[in-house]
Structure 1
Amino acid sequence: MVGDKSVRISILGGTGPEGRGLAVRLAMAGNAVCLGSRDESRAIDVAIDLSSSVGIHVIGLDNPSAAKDGDVIFVTVPYQAQSDLLSSIKDDLEGKIIVNVIAPMEFVKGVGARALDVKAGSAAEECREIACNSKIVSAFQNVSAEDLENPDLVLDEDVIICSDDSDAKKIVMELVESIDNLRPVDGGALSNSKYVEQITPLLVNINRIYKIHAGIKIVGI
C-alpha cells in the first residue's frame, strides 16, 4: 500500500503547517496526496506551491471533497475545529482509516503551551466518538511541522502510533517507515493517545526555551 499511487492520502486542514509538512514528506515517499481546506482555492494554491517548490505532485480540494477522495484521511485541523468538521463529513469517512494528528492545547501568558482536558480522553478518542464507523489511528503529534515541511532536513525521531485496530495501525506504521529516518513505535491502545498528545505542549515549551525543533526518541527498543 505504501508508495502506491492508487491509494490516495487526504489531509484535512492540509494548508496549515502540519498538513503542509505531512504532504511534503508523504508525497516525497511516493504516495498520492490531496490537501483539503475550508477554501478550495487556498488548497489549490498551496498544492501548486508545494508541487513546484519541492518537486512533488499534490492536489488541492475542499475538505468534504478531500474526505470523499481519500482512502487514508489525516486530520490536522486545530482541536477546536475537529468536532464540527468530522460531524459534517462522517458519512464520507465510513470504513476509512483516519489518522488523528491533533494535540489539544492552549497558550497561557507567562506559562506557554498547556494541554487541554478532553472529555473523551483525547482528541483521537473524540474523533472515534464522532466517526464511529471509521478506523482511528493516532500519530505524528510530536513531530515539528516546520521540520516536516523542509525537504532538505534529515529527520531523526520516533512517531508513536496508537490504535485499537491492528490492521489500520500496521498501515500507518508503514507510512511512517516510508518517510526517511522516521521510526514508528507501537504505542498500544487508542486511549494511550492522551499521553502522546500531552507531550506536544511540553515540546512546544522546550522548543521555545532552547529555540530548537525537538522531537522524541524512545531508547532501548
Structure 2
Amino acid sequence: MISTPAGTEITPPTAPFTIAVIGGTGPQGKGLGYRFARGGHTVVFGSRSAEKGEAVAEEVAARLDGVAGAGTVSGAANADAAAQADVVLLAVPWDGHDELVASLPLAGKVVISCVNPLGFDKRGAYGLVVDAGEGSAAETAQRLAPEAVVVGAFHNVSAVTLWEHDGFLDEDILVVGDSVAAKGVAIELCASVNGRQGIDAGKLRLARQLEPWTAVLISINRKYKIHSSIKITGFDH
C-alpha cells in the first residue's frame, strides 16, 4: 500500500497502466503520451476541451499504427481523463497550474509531475523561485492533492526527441518522491522512453533542483543547436 499525506492508503497500480496525460495537447504531454502508449500502456490525452484531446489521440493513434504491442489511446477533457486513470501525468504550463490541479479528481491516484516553472527573458530561460525557494511544482501539486501521491519525473526530457525519434532515447531519467512504491510506477514508465528503468534520485523536495535544471539544458541547446539530455555515470544498465 501507498500512504498519502492525508493518511489514506492507495493500492499501487500494476502495469500496464491507464495514464491520463493532463496537458496532453502540448508538445511534452503529447510526446510522453505517445511513448507510454508505444510501451503498451493505455493513454487518455486530456485537454481543456475533449475535442482537442481527441484530435491529439487520433494523431498519436496514426503514429502507432502497426506498432506491435502498443496500447490504446483516447482523448477527453482534463477532469474526465483523470477520472479514468490510475496514473496521472501533469504536463501543463506553470501559469495556471494551481487552479487546474485543484480542479482535478486526483484522490487515490499516483500523480507524476513533469512541470517546470521557468521564465524567459532576453538572456534566455531561467528557473522561477517557488515558495521563496522552499517549494517546487511537484511539491505544490502534492499540497493541492493531499489524497494522492505525487512524484516528479521526466522534467529534463526533450519534447522534440520524444516525438520525432522512434527508438529509445539515450539518456537517464531522474525520479524523485517521498514514496518508494509511487516512485516505482514512474521508474517503470521510464522504460517506455529510454528502454531502461528510471533512477531513484531521492525525496520530492529535490524537484526544487530538477525543475530549474531544464533551463540549463535549454541554454546548452541554444548555444550548440542540439537536444541535450542527462546521463548518470556509474550505472550498469
Range of TM-score over shorter length: over 0.9
Aligned identity (percent) is 38
Shift of residue 152 of structure 1? Answer: 2.1
1:29-178 counterparts in 2 under 5 A?
29-55=39-65, 57-89=72-104, 92-109=105-122, 111-119=123-131, 121-178=135-192
Shift of residue 219 of structure 1? Answer: 0.8
Shift of residue 26 of structure 1? Answer: 0.4
Q: TM-score, normalised by structure 2?
A: 0.87
1:156–1:182: 8 Å Cα contact kept in structure 2?
no
CA deviations over 1:123-171 (Å, ceiling 9, x no partner): 1011111011110000000000111112424410011100001110111
Q: Which has the higher helix share?
A: 1
Q: Distance in 2 between matches of 1:145 and 1:68?
A: 25
- 1:183–1:207 CA distance, 2 compared to 1 (3 A): farther
Aligned residues: 215
Structure 1: give runs of 5+ residues left out of the alignment: none
Q: Distance in 2 between matches of 1:208 and 1:39?
A: 33
Shift of residue 80 of structure 1? Answer: 1.1
CA deviations over 1:65-115 (Å, ceiling 9, x no partner): 0111111000000011210101112xx211100000001101111x10010
CA deviations over 1:41-68 (Å, ceiling 9, x no partner): 1111111011113325310000010111
Q: TM-score, normalised by structure 1?
A: 0.93
Give the alignment's Cα RMSD to 1 decimal: 1.3
Q: Find the residue that maps to 1:15 and give its secondary structure.
A: coil
Range 148-157 or range 66-75, more displaced: 148-157
Range 148-157 or range 178-187, more displaced: 178-187
Structure 2: give runs of 5+ residues left out of the alignment: 1-13
Runs of 4+ off more than 6 Å: none
Q: Which residue of 1 aligns with 2:11?
A: none
Q: Distance in 1 between matches of 2:50 and 2:142?
A: 26
